[in-house]
Structure 1
Amino acid sequence: MSELLLSFTVAGVPIPQGSKTVFNGRAVDANAKKLRPWRRQVTAAAKAAMVAAGIAEPFEGPLVLVHEFVFERPKSVKRSHPSVKPDGDKLLRALCDGITDAGVWRDDAQMVRWPGRKVYGPNPGARVSVYREKE
Structure 2
Amino acid sequence: MIKFFVDGTPAGQGSKTFYGKGRMAESSKKLKPWRDEVTRVAKLHAPDTPLDEPVKVTVTFWILRPARPKFKDYPATPFDLDKLQRGVGDALQQAGVLKDDSRIVTWNAKKRFTDDAPGASITVEPLWDALRASLSDE
2:99 to 101, 106, 109: 106
Matches within 5 A, 1:1-135: 4=1, 6-23=2-19, 25-31=22-28, 33-50=29-46, 55-77=47-69, 79-121=72-114, 122-134=116-128
Could you tell me how far apart the structure 1 residues matched to 2:104 and 2:87 are?
A: 15
Q: TM-score, normalised by structure 2?
A: 0.85
Segments of structure 1 that go 5 or more residues without pairing to the other structure are none
Question: Shift of residue 67 of structure 1?
Answer: 0.4
Could you tell me how far apart the structure 2 residues matched to 1:112 and 1:29 are?
A: 25
Question: Shift of residue 7 of structure 1?
Answer: 0.8
Segments of structure 2 that go 5 or more residues without pairing to the other structure are 132-138
3-state SS in 1 of match to 2:30: helix
Question: Shift of residue 23 of structure 1?
Answer: 3.1
- Counterpart AA for 2:26: D
The percentage of counterpart residues that share the same residue type is: 36
Cα deviation digits, residues 53-112 of structure 1 (max 9, x gap): xx2110011100000000111111261111222100010011111111101111111111
Task: Extract structure 1 runs of 4+ deviating beyond 4 A.
Answer: none
Higher relative contact order (CA 8 A, sep 6+): 1
Could you tell me how far apart the structure 1 residues matched to 2:19 and 2:94 are?
A: 24
Question: Shift of residue 17 of structure 1?
Answer: 0.8
Could you tell me how far apart the structure 2 residues matched to 1:81 and 1:22 are?
A: 32
Q: TM-score, normalised by structure 1?
A: 0.86
Could you tell me how far apart the structure 2 residues matched to 1:43 and 1:82 are?
A: 24
Cα deviation digits, residues 101-130 of structure 1 (max 9, x gap): 101111111111001100011210000000
3-state SS in 2 of match to 1:130: strand
